[in-house]
């Protein structure tokens, strides 16, 4: 650095050869080495003093107004509370370890109640931000959706995610299916394309659907390796070929001849796969419902009836090959559960809103710590709300 914060001069006072006093001699050369380190950490305390004056003319008593950050006789500031949220909801530290970190770094102990109250305050102040993110997702052209189990208040719950490369929305619910999705209230009104696995509840909604081909490739690999289904390998290779052609075309559409050729190959493989399946087992006498089908036959039926959803990425450059975006956004939930365990009280609800804000900031290249600090000023940094 041209202007270091501190300069320590190591002077020469005498000659190492003959012992002559050199303390008054000017140095002919100064060699420099710089050490980059963290200064000693401690909490700083700012005292706000509001004057009180009585008017000599009318006798009115005048009081200066304290700033918003000094609303109580003592309180923690925005940077401390923002850092606490950063540690708990971004770095995923449990309450006890967050307490330890503050004690070790700042020689100051925070109570768990203080940390929980700060999370609740952050959650409340992000209400409008979450609403705008949710509205932006409703207006997006393409979204990815997924869900995973989590533990909240000692019971099994489900974490749902709706996301794009720029936006993230999380919600927890005791249910996995349409009851939860209706209450989350994105898919019921969404009119774009939703990319997801083949979970049946998603198909109840009146939007365009695209199936995750990463899930499909895993199913095809299983059928090839475990059940010797040769057609499964052919279809997997075809999907990879279409993906390669789609990537080579970048944002342009594939030519109609390419699309037609790929679609015909798809149909031929599915037809061959169906022909290779053994006849269905006969139902035992008196048994209701359909006869049980093999996993291969079930998948082939889905590939036939949902062909357009499987190949939607081929026709529409905006639709991704898979729903890996949503899966990546869910991954941190699993990490959080491994580190911190079950959510307690309103912890799951707080985590979802705050983590959704953090994820959105990260996707857009904005500072997470600065964003969380800004929440406590009452003017949170707003991400770009484009789906």
C-alpha of 198 from chain center: 22
**Residue 74: inside a domain, yes or no?**
no
What are φ and ψ of residue 292, in 5° steps?
Answer: -65, 135
pLDDT of residue 387: 47
- The overall longest dimension of the chain from CA atoms, in Å, is 115
Is 162 within 8 Å of 186 (Cβ atoms)? yes
pLDDT of residue 137: 97
The sign one gets for the Cα dihedral 149, 150, 153, 154 is: positive
pTM: 0.87
In this structure, the number of other CB atoms found within 10 A of the CB of residue 256 comes to 8
pLDDT of residue 290: 67
> CA dihedral in degrees (265, 270, 273, 274; nearest 10)?
-140
**Residue 268: inside a domain, yes or no?**
yes
**Residue 354: inside a domain, yes or no?**
no
**Residue 114: inside a domain, yes or no?**
no
Reading phi first (left if > 0) and then psi (alpha if -120 to 50, else beta), residue 153 is in left
**Residue 92: inside a domain, yes or no?**
no
pLDDT values of the chain reduced to their tens digit, one per residue, 387 residues: 999 999 999 999 999 999 999 999 999 999 999 999 998 899 999 999 999 999 999 999 999 999 988 999 999 999 999 999 999 999 999 999 999 999 999 999 999 999 999 999 999 999 999 999 999 999 999 999 999 998 888 888 999 999 999 999 999 999 999 999 999 999 999 999 999 998 999 999 999 999 999 999 999 999 999 989 999 999 999 999 999 999 999 888 899 999 999 999 999 999 999 999 888 776 666 666 666 788 999 999 999 999 999 999 999 999 999 999 999 999 888 788 777 777 887 888 999 999 999 999 999 999 999 999 999 999 999 998 864
Which among 194, 199, 197, 200 has a CA at the least distance from the CA of 217? 197
Domain count along the chain: 1
Which residue(s) pair with 294 in the sheet?
Answer: none
- Burial letters 21-59, b for 16+ CB under 10 A, else e: eeeeeeeeeeeeeeeeeeeeeeeeeeeeeeeeeeeeeee
Cα–Cα dist 260/268, whole Å: 12
C-alpha of 326 from chain center: 8
Cα–Cα dist 144/137, whole Å: 10
| CA 236 vs CA 205, 213, 225: distances in Å | 28, 9, 12
**Residue 179: inside a domain, yes or no?**
no
**Residue 27: inside a domain, yes or no?**
no
pLDDT of residue 284: 65
pLDDT of residue 385: 82
**Residue 167: inside a domain, yes or no?**
no
pLDDT of residue 338: 79
DSSP state of 201: G
DSSP 118-135: HHHHHHHHTHHHHHHHHH
**Domain housing 242:** 213-275+294-322
Cα–Cα dist 125/68, whole Å: 14
| Cα angle 97-101-104, degrees, rounded to a multiple of 5 | 130
Helices assigned H by DSSP within the chain = 78-85, 95-106, 112-125, 127-138, 178-184, 213-227, 230-248, 256-275, 295-305, 307-310, 312-315, 324-340, 347-363, 368-375
């Amino acid at each position: 650095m041209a202007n270091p914060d501190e300069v320590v001069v190591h002077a020469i006072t005498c000659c190492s050869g003959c012992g002559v006093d050199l303390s008054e001699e000017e140095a002919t050369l100064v060699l420099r080495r710089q050490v980059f380190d963290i200064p000693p950490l401690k909490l700083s305390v700012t005292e706000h003093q509001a004057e009180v004056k009585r008017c000599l003319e009318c006798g009115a008593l005048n009081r200066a107004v304290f700033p918003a950050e000094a609303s109580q006789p003592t309180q923690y500031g925005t940077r401390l509370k923002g850092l606490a949220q950063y540690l708990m909801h971004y770095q995923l530290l449990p309450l006890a370890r967050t307490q330890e970190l503050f004690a070790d770094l700042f020689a100051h102990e925070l109570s768990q109640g203080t940390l929980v109250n700060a999370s609740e305050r952050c959650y409340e102040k992000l209400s409008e931000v979450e609403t705008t993110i949710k509205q932006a997702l409703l207006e997006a052209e393409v979204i990815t959706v997924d869900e995973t189990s989590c533990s909240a208040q000692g019971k099994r719950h489900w974490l749902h995610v709706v996301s794009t490369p720029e936006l993230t929305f999380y919600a927890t619910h005791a249910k996995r299916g349409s009851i939860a999705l209706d209450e989350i209230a994105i898919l019921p009104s969404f009119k774009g394309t939703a990319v997801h696995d083949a979970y049946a509840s998603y198909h109840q909604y009146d939007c365009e659907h695209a199936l995750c081909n990463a899930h499909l490739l895993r199913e095809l690999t299983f059928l090839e390796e475990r059940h010797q289904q040769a057609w499964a390998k052919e279809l997997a290779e075809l999907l990879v070929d279409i993906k390669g052609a789609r990537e080579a075309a970048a944002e342009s559409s594939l030519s109609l001849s390419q699309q037609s050729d790929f679609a015909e190959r798809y149909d031929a493989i599915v037809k061959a796969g169906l022909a290779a399946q053994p006849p269905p087992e006969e139902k035992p006498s008196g048994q209701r419902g359909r006869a049980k089908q093999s996993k291969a036959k079930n998948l082939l039926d889905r590939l036939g009836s949902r062909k357009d959803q499987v190949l939607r990425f081929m026709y529409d450059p905006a639709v991704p090959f898979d729903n890996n975006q949503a899966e990546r956004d869910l991954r941190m939930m699993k990490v959080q559960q491994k580190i911190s365990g079950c959510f307690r009280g309103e912890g799951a609800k707080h985590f979802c809103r705050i983590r959704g804000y953090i994820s959105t900031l990260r996707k857009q290249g904005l500072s997470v710590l600065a964003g969380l600090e800004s929440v406590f000023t009452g003017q949170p940094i707003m991400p770009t709300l484009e789906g």
